[in-house]
Amino acid sequence: MDNAKIDTKSNLSRLLNQLSLGDNISECLTCGACNSRCTWFDGEGGPIPRQMVRMAALGLDDKLVESGMLWDCLICNRCTQGCPMGITMDIIVRRGRSLGIAAGQIPTDIEKGIKSRLETGDVNGLTKEEFVETVEWVSEEFVDEVNDPKAAIPHDKKGSKFLYLPNPRELGINLLHLTAMGKLFYAMEETWTMSSFHTDVTNWGYFVGRDEIARKIASMVVEPAENLGIQTLVLSECGHGYHVLKFLLPELIGRKPKFDVKSIPELTLEYAKKGVLKFDPSIHPYKIAYHDPCNIARKSGCYDAPRQLLDLCCQETVELNPNREDGICCGGGGGILQDSTSTKKRKITGKPKADQMKACGLKHLATACLSCHRQLGELSNHFKLGMKVDTVASLASESLIL
């Protein structure tokens, strides 16, 4: 059997014991509560949260990296929710991933994505010119669709009230989603814009746990946004993007940004409450279940806004069980969805979610994250659940009364 030496001065121990606020890993009671709550449940392989915490606490960096658990973990913090000491798994895992010795484990896709994001501003490597071209083309389509020459999907317009930060997929394979969002802004009757300087809501620096990268990417959002003088940064539906930009941003850049941050469902709901936006729920005459993206719900505390918005534009919102704080990760969290080699693995990590989807017995499911959206759709196909998966904002856009 292998032998390991405790080293409380290991790199990881040092990184983790600097933390305040109950995240000091040495506080672990070894109570085992986390083990029972891992999204992998009784799936084979995968992370065993208490072992990760203990290896980190005892400075067994090598062992932790060797175990492979760091990149199996979905960073969903489901285990954390049950921890009596409030020990936060996503911090432990991300710090672990950031270790030099773990560098070889970073999925190639994520490494590439970070590189092109830092170089071009977009994970898929979309250049500024390509961005402008794409957005202007979508804008034309959009004018036709709403049949109003004044309508537009504007970019780089200074002094706009809102700045919309899209998901890279909205500029690639899911352009329709961008049009749908444009419709919502159009109906709000406010000034809005996109920016060719930063085309992306994602921040993969978060997945690799490298604060300096996450900070750089975040600044690529904050600086142009502040230069444009906008009031509110509006995030496309993206889980980790939301968590980083709404929840971690001040800590990351060391100050408060000069704008508010809201997700598109949050903003839409706000305008619906003001009476500006009106919806016709009969467009979606069915019951629909809602999946809580871990990063938005458990990790950032936003539970109600997406549900309320769904209530306005569908017949009825139904809960999956368990939900909210105890919601089950789609199985694509922690960067695994961004790794194209993980398709098979995602069927294992997503099994508990698929079971839950099946148990609700419905044909429709909504979520507020485009990554979850993709994973859930794939689960529905793979497990033959026959469920149609939509994002909350696109449903809202569909039932919008113009």
308 binds, among ligand SF4, other proteins, none (CB under 5 to 8 A by kind): none
253 binds, among ligand SF4, other proteins, none (CB under 5 to 8 A by kind): none
- For binding to other proteins (CB under 8 A), which residues are involved? 1-6, 8, 17, 22, 24, 26-38, 40-46, 48, 50-51, 54-55, 58, 60, 63, 67, 81-86, 322, 324-326, 359
Q: Would you count residue 4 as binding ligand SF4 (CB under 6 A)?
A: no
The correct pick among 56, 73, 126, 362 for binding ligand SF4 (CB under 6 A) is 73
* Segment holding 262, helix H or strand E: strand 260-263
Q: Is the peptide bond before 47 cis (omega within 30 degrees of 0)?
A: no
| Residues paired with residue 13 on neighbouring β-strands, in sequence order | none
What six digits make up the tokens of 314? Answer: 């569908």
Edge to edge, the sheet with strand 260-263 lists 192-193, 162-165, 232-235, 260-263
CA distance 264 to 197: 20
Largest distance between two CA atoms of the chain: 73
The correct pick among 43, 67, 85, 190 for binding ligand SF4 (CB under 6 A) is 85
The interface region with ligand SF4, picked from 45-53, 194-202, 246-254, 300-308 by CB under 6 A, is 45-53
Burial class, 130, CB count within 10 angstroms (exposed 0-12 / middle 13-18 / buried 19+): middle
Q: Are 304 and 297 in contact (CB under 8 A)?
A: no
Q: What minimum distance in Å lies between the beta carbon of 224 and ligand SF4? A: 33
Q: Would you count residue 57 as binding ligand SF4 (CB under 6 A)?
A: no
Burial class, 222, CB count within 10 angstroms (exposed 0-12 / middle 13-18 / buried 19+): buried
Q: What minimum distance in Å lies between the beta carbon of 70 and other proteins? A: 15
Footprint of ligand SF4 on 95-114 (CB under 6 A): none
Q: Is 317 helix (H, G, I), strand (E, B) or coil?
A: strand
Residue whose CB is less far from ligand SF4, 26 or 381:
26
What six digits make up the tokens of 65? Answer: 């990296």
Residue whose CB is less far from ligand SF4, 40 or 207:
40
Residue whose CB is less far from ligand SF4, 85 or 118:
85
Q: Are 259 and 192 in contact (CB under 8 A)?
A: no
Q: Would you count residue 74 as binding ligand SF4 (CB under 6 A)?
A: yes
Q: Is the peptide bond before 322 cis (omega within 30 degrees of 0)?
A: yes
Cα dihedral angle (56, 60, 66, 69), rounded to 10 degrees? -20
Q: Would you count residue 227 as binding ligand SF4 (CB under 6 A)?
A: no
Footprint of ligand SF4 on 285-314 (CB under 6 A): none
Q: Would you count residue 346 as binding ligand SF4 (CB under 6 A)?
A: no
Q: Would you count residue 91 as binding ligand SF4 (CB under 6 A)?
A: no
Residue whose CB is less far from ligand SF4, 83 or 313:
83
Residues that bind ligand SF4 (CB under 6 A): 28-34, 37-40, 47, 49-50, 53, 73-79, 82-85, 87, 89
